[in-house]
Amino acid sequence: MALIKFRGKPLSGYNILIIAFATFGSITYGYCSAIIGSTLGQPSFLHYFGLDTASNAAALTGAINGLFQGGGLIGTLSFGAVADKFGRCKAMFLASVLAIIGGGLQAGSVHLAMYLVSRFLTGLAIGGLVMLVPLWQSEVAPPHARGLLVGLHGVSILVGYSSSAWVGFGFYFVNADGAQWRPPLAIQCLPPLILACGVYFIPESPRWLIDNDQHERAEAVLHRIYRDPSNTDNHAAKAEFAQIRAQVELERHLPSSWASLFTVPHYRKRALIGFTTLLAGQLTGTTVINNYGPSLYAALGHGASASLALSAGWLTEGLVCNAINAVLLDYVGRKWLMVTGLIGCAISLLGVSIMVALYGGTANKGGNSAGVFFLYLHLTFYATCMDASTYVYGSEIWPTHLRGKGFAISCAGLFVGSLTLLEAAPTAFETIGWRFYLIMMAFTIICAIIFALFFPETKGMTLEEISALFDDEVAIEASSDTKTLSITSEKEKVKA
């Protein structure tokens, strides 16, 4: 396939194609996560399950979101081990099948208990996919474009988010005898079905293949990824193969258990940084705004249809901003881009809290419009600086032999944050109202300080070179610009 130039270096069309295809898993995560927002905004859904009259409606709504996020937490940890044991592609297939089952059961739910169980099953699936897709992408993307290519995961999550919002908005006007909430839930089965059918046509991670002694297959994958008609010797592929193989051999006898993630200092540092990276994205409150968007806009004086439209527009804006995020990563780096995003989110949350405190529940159009503005501004900072960045950063800091388990720990931060805030949000908005935004603002400021003080920059490095930032031994250093090899000591530095 044709080559393009990115940052002055070649990037194969084949590499772009396979990474883009894997984002059907990202779309699955986005759609399945966000569809609950418009579903809870459907009067027919609330009436069918009695949530419009139940005295414990806030608790039941929290359970709907909590079980999904709890399933995600279990799923991301479980599929991390599956990915290391059986390969990234097989794990993606299993997660896709589970997503199809969960989505079908949601659409066909006949009582609340069935819906809650199906939400949990879907959570298990998306917990796997949100971790597996950027994990695999990071291992097949060239260093100079890894931010862009893995950033497609964040962009595609917003494709899922925004499409679910517009689908939910469209079905709001469909007269289906009270069943108009079912088709949007059924549609969530389509992206994982496409991924499940096509995942065996994309290559397995060359790093996983080398780690499992399938060197010929790994070398063939790298040669195809780096194929350049003007360079028949394909020096880039040979250099990366040599670097990966040497690093894998160096790490082969290093500890790789779950316990080692917390007992070995170099791994523990990664675990803390990775977990905090994905946790911070949730502590900004973006998922709360996403899932409870229609309710938040209603509190600012908007009707049901207008609230659904504003929520859909909010997510569509996020799609554009995420695309910008993916491009910026390889130019300005990861660390300070995320710090900027966190500071911007904190300022926006302060603005929202002031507008809701002063004008929430009133007919003041100016104040309520300003509240909507700050919700949109919040997403502008989050999607432009944080969303794609967290997945790229959280996946690339781990060594090959631990990347599945390690990135699962990173993604656990996402679900711990989501579970905590989404479970608390309905009750918090009822009891403390606008002050809940200030709590999220405080968490966001703390995260910005931690990022600025303790997080290393990883832009432009190979995955193997990033290990040196955490004081691991690097077997071969290969410049991302020249792919010039230099052999260093293979002394085992990390002890069990």
Closest C-alpha to 244, from 453, 362, 403, 27: 403
Residue whose pair of structure tokens reads 């059961």 in the numeric block: 105
Q: According to the model, what pLDDT value does residue 477 have?
A: 57
Distance CA 68, CA 122 (A): 7
Q: Please, what is the end-to-end C-alpha distance for the chain in angstroms?
A: 45
Alpha-helix residue ranges (DSSP H) falling in 173-285 = 182-187, 190-198, 206-211, 215-225, 235-251, 260-263, 265-283
In whole angstroms, how far apart are CA 230 and each of 197, 226, 235, 389?
Answer: 34, 11, 11, 33
Q: Are 435 and 353 in contact (CB under 8 A)?
A: yes
Ordered per-residue pLDDT tens for the chain, 496 residues? 566 777 767 788 899 999 999 999 999 999 999 898 788 878 889 999 998 888 888 788 888 888 998 999 999 999 999 999 999 999 999 999 999 999 999 999 999 999 999 999 999 999 999 999 999 999 999 888 888 999 999 899 989 988 988 898 888 888 767 788 999 999 999 999 999 999 999 999 999 999 999 999 999 999 988 887 777 677 888 888 998 898 888 888 888 889 999 999 999 999 999 999 999 999 999 988 887 777 788 877 777 778 878 888 888 898 899 999 999 998 999 999 999 999 999 999 999 999 988 987 777 888 888 988 999 999 999 999 999 999 999 999 998 888 999 999 999 999 999 889 988 888 898 899 899 999 999 999 999 999 999 999 999 888 888 988 998 877 665 544 434 444 343 334 444 3
Q: CATH number of the domain at 3-216+223-487, please?
A: 1.20.1250.20
Whole-angstrom distance, CA of residue 153 vs CA of residue 290: 18
Task: Give Cα separations from 362 to 234, 295, 426 (angstroms).
Answer: 66, 15, 20
Q: Report the C-alpha gap between 41 and 371 in whole angstroms.
A: 19
Which among 202, 209, 198, 238 is positioned nearest to 222, based on CA atoms?
238
How far is the CA of 194 from the CAs of 92, 132, 295, in angstroms?
12, 16, 33
pTM of the shown model: 0.84
Q: Can you read off the two tokens belonging to residue 480? A: 């991302």
Of 253, 223, 227, the C-alpha closest to 241 is 223
Task: Please give the structure tokens belonging to residue 346.
Answer: 């904190």
CA–CA gap between residue 8 and residue 397 (Å, rounded): 25
Pull the structure tokens for residue 266: 């170099």
Angle 400-265-450 (CA atoms, 0-180°, nearest 5)? 95
Give the pLDDT confidence score for residue 227 in this predicted structure: 81
Identify the pLDDT of residue 491. Answer: 38
- The pLDDT, as a whole number, for residue 476 is 62
Give me the residue label for tokens 């993630």.
Answer: 261
Question: What residue type is 142 in one-letter code?
Answer: P
Residues contacting 60, CB < 8 A, separation 6+: 49, 51, 54, 112
